[in-house]
Amino acid sequence: MAITGLALVAFLLMHMSGNLKMFISGEAFDHYAHWLKGEGDEGGILYPLIPQGWFIWIFRLGMMAVILLHIYSAVTLWRRAKIANPDTYVAKRRLAQTYSARTMRWGGIILLTGVIFHLLQFTVRATLFSGTADAAPHEMVLGEFSIWWMVVAYAIWMVAVCMHIRHGFWSAFTTLGANTSLKAQRVLNGCAWVIAILLYIGFMIMPVAVLTGVLN
Amino acid sequence: MNITLRVWRQANAQDEGRMVTYQVADVSPDMSFLEMLDLLNEDLTVKGEEPVAFDHDCREGICGMCGVVINGTAHGRGDSPVPTTTCQLHMRSFADGATIDVEPWRAGPFPVLKDLVVDRSAFDRIIQAGGFISANTGSAPDAHAAPVSKLKADRGFDAATCIGCGACVAACPNSSAMLFTAAKITHLAMLPQGQPERYTRVKSMVAQHDAEGFGNCTNIGECAAVCPKEIPLDTISQLNRDLIASLFKKDGK
Ligand code: HEM
Ligand code: SF4
Ligand code: FES
């Protein structure tokens, strides 16, 4: 759970920095997208260490494994908790738990639904609402985020993602043994907030810029 | 004070159980919560009804026998900044005329035996799985022959204050006993006597914890908030550290 979760956080940081290339130029963004897929003339990422176009598939396979392991761990935890916890208190008061901690499981399902939609939209290009299926990557992004409700939907989804990370980041480090004192607990929770807010801003700034016409 | 109590009544493990409302009159604010229950029980006995069964022993917050969920918090700490056991909670913490819900610990591995009494022998089996040292201690070593740093001694002693009450399990949304297990692990891991069995202990105790049917920890923190002994969450990280380290030890397990 912890290791796969942190791998996903690392992925999100990478993904975020990739998205920000839109601010350099549409070409820079397209170049990055093609580079990942090994579609450029120079062979793309890790070429010639591995054959052209292989990286993206190795990476996708790795991501698939990480996500499946993450979900497998989550389902195991959830199932064990369901068996252990009869949840029959007449009066129940929470003293310490945060909203994020409490919603890791249902929140995770929202995340998964979002991930599937996101992949169908930008990877498979099956659910594009701006008719840009054959356009360059940056045109597709511009098209999709010119739709106001798409930006709203992403803004909401990213709240769920960042809440998940707010608890997940602290929880992962605690599971790995880094919570060594009350002070460490505060530091870890502080870092979790920083990462969550950084990811939120980093991911949302580009769609908002597109919608408001700053990027076009 | 006059108190309205809604108490969980359950004749035996097979009974379905239900909340029953009682009026308790003439409660002194200086009574402990258990003394208030005594008052109720005297009244019930006079009326020829079955008194409410609840666990208790020392009544001074050190044995870990008592423990009920009061108004939704284990041991009834509520808004107070001071952690407490049920026996050390006083009626002055409640308003005159208050309605108080009293329920037993709820967790699969803690079945209700009667009314507010649950079977906590799962904790005993976790201890039996490794929460001890099996070396002969012999006579006391010379002073300073086995130096222990102040930091480690403090952590060890702090963790050793766990009284095994089970409030952590009662409060945990996963019904995990990780705080209890971690308190025992940290206590022995900090002291020289605990070192020889340190890594086999953590494996055995965690395995027994899981075998008893407790849930797994997701670092929510409800346990530490209700713990009467303020066992900190960092003991759980200590347990995880030792567990990770134990994976790389050649100990036949
Ligand atoms: C956007 C990518 C995701 C990231 C960055 C991420 C990150 C994390 C991290 C770091 C943890 C904490 C590990 C720990 O408790 O030690 C976690 C826990 C969890 N994740 Fe994710 N996750 C992601 C996607 C998902 C998805 C798609 C699901 C779908 C089911 C999911 C479900 C869960 C669940 C149920 C937990 C355990 C919650 C708990 O501790 O009670 N996550 N996640
Ligand atoms: S860790 Fe605290 S709440 Fe849990 S059994 Fe020990 S004393 Fe009770
Ligand atoms: S009766 Fe001993 S701790 Fe409360």
Percent of chain A whose pLDDT exceeds 70? 100
Q: Are strands B99-103 and B3-9 parallel, antiparallel or unpaired?
A: parallel
What atom in ligand 3 is closest to the CA of residue B88? 4
Interchain CB distance below 8 Å, A84 and B108: yes
Close Cβ partners of A33 (under 8 Å, ≥ 6 residues apart): A18, A137
Q: Where does B3-103 sit in CATH, by number?
A: 3.10.20.30
**What are the DSSP calls for A119-167, one per residue?**
HHHHTS--S-SSS-TTS-HHHHHHHHTTSHHHHHHHHHHHHHHHHHHHH
CA–CA separation, A191 and A83 (whole Å): 33
Whether B30 shows a pLDDT value over 80: the answer reads yes
Looking at residue B66, its pLDDT comes to 97
ipTM: 0.91
Whether A3 shows a pLDDT value over 80: the answer reads yes
Residue of B nearest to A88 (CA): B106
Q: Where does B121-246 sit in CATH, by number?
A: 1.10.1060.10
What residues of A are in contact with residue B176 (Cβ under 8 Å)?
A: 81, 84
> Cα dihedral angle (B28, B9, A86, B238), rounded to 10 degrees?
40
The tens digit of pLDDT for each residue in B198-242 reads 999 999 999 999 999 999 999 999 999 999 999 999 999 999 999
* Surface-to-core class of residue B8, CB atoms within 10 Å of its CB (0-12 exposed, 13-18 middle, 19+ buried): buried
Please, which pLDDT band fits residue A133 given cuts at 50, 70 and 90?
confident
End-to-end CA distance of chain A: 40
Whether B20 shows a pLDDT value over 80: the answer reads yes
Q: Which ligand is nearest to the CA of B227?
A: 2
The tens digit of pLDDT for each residue in B146-196 reads 889 999 999 999 999 999 999 999 999 999 999 999 999 999 999 988 999
Looking at residue B253, its pLDDT comes to 63
CA–CA separation, B39 and B57 (whole Å): 17
Domain parsing of chain B, residue ranges: 3-103, 121-246
Mean pLDDT of B123-144: 88
Whether B109 shows a pLDDT value over 70: the answer reads yes
Interchain CB distance below 8 Å, A91 and B226: no
The shortest CB-CB distance from A92 to any of B72, B109, B224 is to B72
Percent of chain A whose pLDDT exceeds 90? 86
What residues of B are in contact with residue A105 (Cβ under 8 Å)?
A: none
The shortest CB-CB distance from A96 to any of B109, B216, B222 is to B222
Whether B250 shows a pLDDT value over 90: the answer reads no
CA–CA separation, A136 and B145 (whole Å): 74
Interchain CB distance below 8 Å, B222 and A95: yes
Close Cβ partners of B56 (under 8 Å, ≥ 6 residues apart): B34, B65, B66, B86, B87
Q: Tell me, what DSSP letter sits at residue B31? A: S
Q: Which ligand is nearest to the CA of B85?
A: 3
Interchain CB distance below 8 Å, A96 and B220: yes
> Cα dihedral angle (A112, A117, A118, A120), rounded to 10 degrees?
130
Close Cβ partners of B2 (under 8 Å, ≥ 6 residues apart): B23, B24, B25, B26, B27, B96, B97
Specify the range with the lowest mean pLDDT, choosing from A10-14, A120-124, B141-145, B245-249.
Answer: B141-145
The tens digit of pLDDT for each residue in A173-209 reads 999 999 999 999 999 999 999 999 999 999 999 999 9
Please, which pLDDT band fits residue B95 given cuts at 50, 70 and 90?
very high
Nearest CA to ligand 3 atom 3: B61
A2-211 is classed in which CATH architecture? Answer: Up-down Bundle (1.20)
Decide if A168 contacts A196 (C-beta within 8 A). no
Whether B137 shows a pLDDT value over 80: the answer reads no
Decide if A56 contacts A38 (C-beta within 8 A). yes
Percent of chain B whose pLDDT exceeds 90? 91
For residue A86, the CA-to-ligand 2 centroid distance in Å is 20
The tens digit of pLDDT for each residue in A98-121 reads 999 999 999 999 999 999 999 999
CA–CA separation, B36 and B91 (whole Å): 8
